[in-house]
Copies of this chain bind each other. A is one copy, B any other.
Amino acid sequence: MRVAILAHEGFPDRAKTAVGLLRYADDEVAAVLDRTRAGERVRDHVPDVQDAPIVEGIDDVETSIDALVVGIAPIGGGFDETWRPDVRGALERGADVVAGLHYFLGDDAEFADLAAEHDCEIRDLRRPPEDLTVSDGTASEVDAEVVLTVGTDCSSGKMTTTFELAEAAREWGVDAGVVPTGQTGIAIEGYGIAVDRVVSDFAAGAVERMVTERAADFDVLFVEGQGAVGHPAYSGVTTSILHGAMPDRLVLCHVAGRDAVHGYEHVSIPPPGEYAALYESLAEPVAPAEVVAGALNTQRLDEDAAAADAVEAYADAIDAPATDPVRFDASEILPAVLGEE
C-alpha cells in the first residue's frame, strides 16, 4: 500500500499516528500533509524512519496513492473542517480514507457519497464491532504469554514500546504478535479494536476477545495499553484493558521528567515505584501480574549519557530492568519481559 498521511499543524510532535505509521507500518508513505511545514521533509524532524516529502495538501501529492490516512487525533477526536478539502480530494482521486477519529467519516454524507461515486472505502478505525459483549473473565486461560504495556500518562510510549518489544522478540526467534487497542496500532497492524470508543460495559470484553483470537496465532502477545490508571479522564479504559487482557506481566512506560498529567497539569503523576505498585494492586484481584520491566521515553534529554542515567534511576525506582526502547534497545529488557529472568 502507498499512503499519504494528513497531519496538519501537528507533525511530528502532535501526530502520533503519523509517526507510528512512518516507523512501524509496512506501507510506503508518499507524503505527509502539514500545511505549516510544506516543503520540508519527514527526516528533517524524525531521523530514524522512512523519509517522505511534507506537502501543503492532497493536490500536492504527486504519486498515486491507495489511501489517505488521518494521522493526528485531536483531544476529543473531532473532525477539523479545514481537513475537508483533503479528504474530499483523496476520495475524488479514488483513494480510500482511513481515520481513527471519534467522528466517523463514513457517516459524513458528503464523504459517503464521494466514496460510493469513486468506488473507494472509508475505514473508521475507531468504529467498534457491533457484536461486542461483556467479558467472561477468561483471558488468563489462553495458551500465549500475555505482556501488557501500562503507563504513567497518555503519550508515554505504550504503543511504541509494544511494537519495539514485538520486533525485538521476533528478532530473537519468538513467535510474537501485537494486540492493538488504539487507532495508530490498528492502522499499523490492520487489526484491532479502539477500546476507548467501545461502550464501557463491553470494553474489557473487547480486549478479552482480541487476546483470545490472537493467542491462537502467536506464542507471546504484546497488548498495547491505553491511558493511565491515574489519568482523570482515561483511567476507565486503562482498567478495562488491564482486567480484560489478564496479562502475565506488565511493562511500565514513563516519560523522563514528566511529573504532571499531560493536559491536566493540576494532576500530579506519582513516583514510578508507587505507580508500579498501584498497577500491581489493581491487577491482583482479577489476575495478578507484576511490573517486570520499564520503558523510559528520554526524547527530551539531549545527551545519551543523561538519558542512560535517567534510565538507570528509573530502573532503581521501579526495581526492575529498564531501557528507552527507541533511543537504546528494547532487547535489553526482553529477558525480563519474557519471564526468562
Which residues of A pack against B, CB within 8 Å? 75-77, 102, 133-137, 195-201, 203-205, 229-240, 242-244, 246, 261, 264, 266-270, 275, 278, 281-282, 284-287
Given contacts A134-B76, A264-B137, contact A233 B284 (CB under 8 A): no
Please name all residues of chain B whose beta carbon is closer than 8 Å to the beta carbon of A195 when the two chains form the complex: 200
Minimal beta-carbon separation of A203 from chain B (angstroms): 5
Residues of B within 8 A of A198 (CB): 199-200
Assess the A102–B236 pair: CB atoms within 8 A.
Answer: no
Contact A203 B236 (CB under 8 A): yes
Point out the residues of chain B lying under 8 angstroms from A77, CB to CB.
201
Question: Using Cβ atoms and an 8 Å threshold, which residues of chain B touch A278?
Answer: 281-282, 284-285
Contacts of A235 in B (CB 8 A): 204, 239-240, 242-243, 282, 286
Residues of B within 8 A of A270 (CB): 284-285
| Cα distance A266–B134 in the bound complex, in angstroms | 16
Give me 23 A-to-B residue pairs in the complex whose CB atoms sit less than 8 angstroms apart, sorted by A's number: A77-B201, A134-B233, A135-B232, A136-B232, A136-B233, A137-B267, A195-B200, A196-B199, A196-B200, A199-B199, A201-B234, A203-B236, A204-B235, A229-B239, A231-B243, A231-B286, A232-B244, A232-B246, A235-B240, A267-B286, A275-B285, A278-B285, A282-B282
Q: How far apart are the CA atoms of A275 and B229 in the complex, in Å?
A: 17
Known: A134-B75, A199-B198. A205 touches B230 (CB 8 A): no
A74 → chain B closest CB, angstroms: 11
A201 touches B205 (CB 8 A): no
Set B75, B199, B233, B285: member contacting A268, Cβ < 8 A: B285
Distance A229 CA – B286 CA, assembled complex (angstroms)? 9
Residues of B within 8 A of A136 (CB): 232-233, 264
Contacting residues, chain B, for A268 (C-beta < 8 A): 285
Q: Cβ of B135 and Cβ of A233 under 8 Å apart?
A: yes
In the assembly, what is the distance between CA of A60 and CA of B261, in Å? 58
* Contact A286 B137, beta carbon cutoff 8 Å: no
A199 touches B201 (CB 8 A): no
Q: Quick check: A204 and B229 within 8 Å, CB to CB?
A: no
- A275 and B238 CA atoms in complex are apart in Å by 19
CB distance from A77 to the nearest CB of B (A): 7
